[in-house]
């Protein structure tokens, strides 16, 4: 699996009522990978990263490999009170980072709860307030 197929799997789990924009902007580096629109106008930006497998040692710091431009975009969106997630896919599971501190400094492997793709889809639905 790669990042593209991982994102497609997530999108297949989302209800049809969520409008999905898979952003691919060659003119503006750092823009998040996807923008989701809920029925009530709520939006969510998500940056996806993917690695084949998660490190095993509990002391390893897990941190998505974000470029400087991505960090600026994501932090700026967060500061503007936009809903933002960074998702690190690993194998068939993922880790969800919700704050700039988490996605820039990382989280110890032992403290990071992996989520299934179904749980990630449920998180997206919850943030968007979709029923």
Q: What is the pLDDT of residues 39-56, one digit of tens each?
A: 899 999 999 999 998 888
For 80, other C-beta atoms within 10 Å of its C-beta total: 8
Q: Mean pLDDT throughout 29-33? A: 93
Higher-confidence position of 131 and 37: 37
pLDDT, residue 22, reads 95
Indicate the helix (H) or strand (E) that contains 35. strand 34-37
pLDDT of 74 over the 80 cut: yes
pLDDT of 20 over the 80 cut: yes
- pTM of the complete model: 0.94
Q: Mean pLDDT throughout 65-77? A: 96
Confidence of residue 64 (pLDDT cuts 50, 70, 90): very high
Q: How far is CA 73 from CA 61, 89, 104, 113, 125, in A?
A: 23, 20, 12, 25, 23
Rounded Cα gap, residues 127 and 123, in angstroms: 6
Percent of the chain with pLDDT over 70: 100
Q: Which residues pair with 116 in a beta bridge?
A: 93
């Amino acid at each position: 699996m790669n990042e593209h197929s991982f994102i497609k799997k997530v999108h297949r789990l989302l209800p049809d009522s969520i409008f999905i924009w898979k952003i691919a902007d060659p003119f503006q580096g750092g823009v998040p990978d996807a923008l989701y629109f809920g029925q009530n106008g709520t939006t969510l930006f998500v940056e996806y990263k993917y690695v084949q497998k998660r490190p095993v040692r509990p002391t390893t710091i897990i941190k998505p490999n974000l470029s400087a431009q991505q960090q600026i975009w994501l932090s700026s969106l967060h500061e503007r009170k936009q809903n933002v997630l960074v998702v690190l896919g690993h194998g068939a599971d993922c880790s969800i980072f919700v704050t700039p501190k988490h996605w820039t400094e990382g989280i110890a492997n032992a403290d990071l709860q992996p989520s299934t793709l179904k749980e990630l889809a449920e998180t997206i639905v919850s943030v968007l307030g979709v029923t």
